[in-house]
Amino acid sequence: MKEDGLIVVFDVGTTGVKCAAFEPDGERACAHTVNYDTVYPKPGWAEQNPEDYWRGIIRGTRALLEKGSICPSKISVIGLSGHMNGCIPVDASGNVLHPNIIHSDCRSQAEASYLKRVFDEWYFYSITGNRIDPHYTFTKILWLKKNYPQIYEQTAYFLNSKDYVGFKLTGNLGFTDFSDASLTCMLNINEGKWAEDVLSEAGVDVHKLPELVPSFHVLGGLSRQAADILGLRSGTPVVVGGGDGACATKGAGVVKKGQAYNYIGSSAWISTINDRPVLDKGARIFHFYDLDGTNYNVTGTVQCATIAYDWAIENIGGYELEKVEARDRVFDIIEDLARQAPVGSNGVFFVPYMMGERTPHWDENTRGGFVGLTLYHGKSHLFRSVYEGVAFALKNVLDVFEENGLKVEVLTLLGGGAKSRLWNEIMCNVYGRPIRVHSFPGEATSLGAAIAAGVGVGIFESFEDAASIIRYQRSCQPVPSEVQAYQSYYRIYNMMYRQLKPIYDEIATLVEDL
């Protein structure tokens, strides 16, 4: 590892862009986040203006340089990360033709149904490593083609967020990495190239998709125009970077089998790496390429994690988090209250299916709820059961991994939920595995992008070499008595979906008819 120069990262997130500078030893020198809006034109729709990413980078870079007293000549390379599953149509000059249809948008349900009629679903999963779903880019392109044919015709490339930023930085248009390409659902995951037969059958022109390059590929030098706007040095190398999920993997220090990370944010997921796709018979897990361009991230997602916790705080605790000044103090109060309840919350279970569920059920009709309430139970039981319910849901992901021969020996916790010591302990004992909390649980995605950039220009010899810079603030070992107790509660938790499924479907039908 070379000990010279800073790595600057532009990390395009769902709520804002983070501009961060890292030392080669992994220490963050400075960071600044600029927020932007997501527009929801209709139920199930979610859009962003890609120009907001660029405006945020301009403001954020200037603030970064000022706050950190950073000299542009000390910046060795620029790395990129961005949220995945998007759809940004641009013309041959890079002009945006339609707002980014982002990952949470599910307007293209009719197009997903169309693909299910055209393709055998197992065939599709075996080719792409992912199931047919309206959250992926493929169906969004079909939606644009059907509803805005003139935009489809004018489109030179369909890009993801970090690829658009890469163009704005270098002027080089039409490139993406393998990780982002994977979650478009248009990549042949086995061969590492666009699935041309699938695209042709569905009526999508493969020439409108960007060229595939490794995540550590140097896209080009910072253009003079961009350098002048940002206050940076013209010619600074810009590395292609990766999707946020793949960047988080490397930022968590996951470089070999048996390692995994657990991101606990609004939603939560567990991701591990493998040297080949793992085709689960129920298509309950999904895949995207690792930043190394060789291995695969195998992932399972739970729809509601901290967002369910926030709901409980606001609706049961009575705190309006957006209006509370000492937000962290509220979290401490709730955690202290939850600690008063024993393992298993005296028989209260929280089912965290408040926005449908993905792994393992992939069922949009599922609903959340508390089960087992009596007049004896109080707020401490309810709050602890929320922590436990999310942990049980994530244990389902680990079970699917094990069913498919993936052994996870240790997990690194990332995201806002990783800050909770109680949640750390509960997850450790529910999972029955050691866990460790990243030193900077909210920075791992940016750090992973910095690592890819460092590999690209030779600061790090390899991703394995770079893993040595990852540090952890604390760890937990399973407590045998609590592991055993949670096994009994987990058995009951696993009975609930099967028993409640007919009720979920009836409620969905009832609400749909209103």
Collapsing DSSP to helix, strand or coil, 457 comes out as: helix
Query: CA-CA distance, 480 to 478, in Å (whole number)?
Result: 6
pLDDT-derived band of residue 266, with 50, 70 and 90 as boundaries? confident
End-to-end, the C-alpha distance of the chain in Å comes to: 62
Mean pLDDT of 61-76: 96
User: Residue 156: is its pLDDT beyond 90?
Assistant: yes
What tokens appear for 422 in the block? Answer: 């109680």
Buried-state track 107-117, b at ≥16 Cβ within 10 A, e below 16 = bbeebbebbee
29's CB contacts (< 8 A; 6+ apart) are: 6, 21, 22, 23, 68, 70
User: Residue 512: is its pLDDT beyond 90?
Assistant: no
**306-398+480-512 shares the fold of 252-303+406-415+434-476:** yes
DSSP single-letter state for residue 261 = E
Q: Please name which of 70, 56, 61, 49 lies closest in space to residue 5, comparing C-alpha atoms.
A: 70
pLDDT at 514: 62
- Per-position DSSP letters for 329-387, written without gaps between them: HHHHHHHHHHHTSPTTGGG-EEE--BTBB-TTT-BTT---EEES--TT--HHHHHHHHH
| CA angle (452, 128, 197) in 5-degree steps | 120
Give, in order, the Cα–Cα distances in Å from 332 to each of 114, 327, 502.
Answer: 48, 9, 38
Give, in order, the Cα–Cα distances in Å from 454 to each of 6, 239, 461, 464.
Answer: 9, 9, 8, 12
Q: For the segment 332-379, what is each residue's pLDDT rounded down to a tens digit?
A: 999 999 999 999 999 999 999 998 898 999 998 999 999 999 999 999
Fold of domain 306-398+480-512: Nucleotidyltransferase; domain 5 (3.30.420)
What tokens appear for 155 in the block? Answer: 């489109």
pLDDT at 3: 61
CATH class, domain 252-303+406-415+434-476, is alpha beta
Q: For the segment 210-259, what is each residue's pLDDT rounded down to a tens digit?
A: 999 999 999 999 999 999 999 999 999 999 999 999 999 999 999 999 99
Q: Please name which of 143, 138, 160 lies closest in space to residue 107, comparing C-alpha atoms.
A: 143
The one-letter amino acid code at 414 reads L
Q: Please name which of 422, 448, 326 lies closest in space to residue 79, comparing C-alpha atoms.
A: 448
pLDDT at 320: 72
131's CB contacts (< 8 A; 6+ apart) are: 121, 124, 125, 283, 286, 362
| CA angle (189, 192, 197) in 5-degree steps | 75
Cis amide bond preceding 237, omega within 30: no
* CATH superfamily of the 6-240 domain: ATPase, nucleotide binding domain (3.30.420.40)
496's CB contacts (< 8 A; 6+ apart) are: 349, 351, 371
Query: CA-CA distance, 224 to 163, in Å (whole number)?
Result: 19
pLDDT-derived band of residue 202, with 50, 70 and 90 as boundaries? very high
Q: What is the pTM of this model?
A: 0.92
Sign of CA dihedral 366, 108, 16, 458: positive
Residue spans of the domains in the chain: they are: 6-240, 252-303+406-415+434-476, 306-398+480-512
- Is the distance from CB of 81 to CB of 241 less than 8 angstroms? yes
Query: CA-CA distance, 133 to 113, in Å (whole number)?
Result: 9
Q: For the segment 11-61, what is each residue's pLDDT rounded down to a tens digit?
A: 999 889 999 999 999 999 999 999 999 999 988 899 999 999 999 999 999
- Is the distance from CB of 231 to CB of 208 less than 8 angstroms? no
Q: For the segment 396-453, what is each residue's pLDDT rounded down to a tens digit?
A: 999 999 999 999 999 999 999 999 999 999 999 999 999 999 999 989 999 999 999 9
Q: For the segment 121-145, what is each residue's pLDDT rounded down to a tens digit?
A: 999 999 999 999 999 999 999 999 9
Query: CA-CA distance, 254 to 41, in Å (whole number)?
Result: 38
The count of other CB atoms within 10 Å of the CB of residue 295 is 20
Parallel, antiparallel or unpaired: strands 16-22 and 28-35? antiparallel
Q: For the segment 272-330, what is each residue's pLDDT rounded down to a tens digit?
A: 999 999 999 999 999 999 999 999 999 999 989 999 999 999 999 887 766 666 677 88
pLDDT at 43: 82
Name the E strands within 167-232: 175-177, 187-188, 193-194, 211-213, 218-221
**Mean pLDDT across the chain:** 95
pLDDT at 2: 62
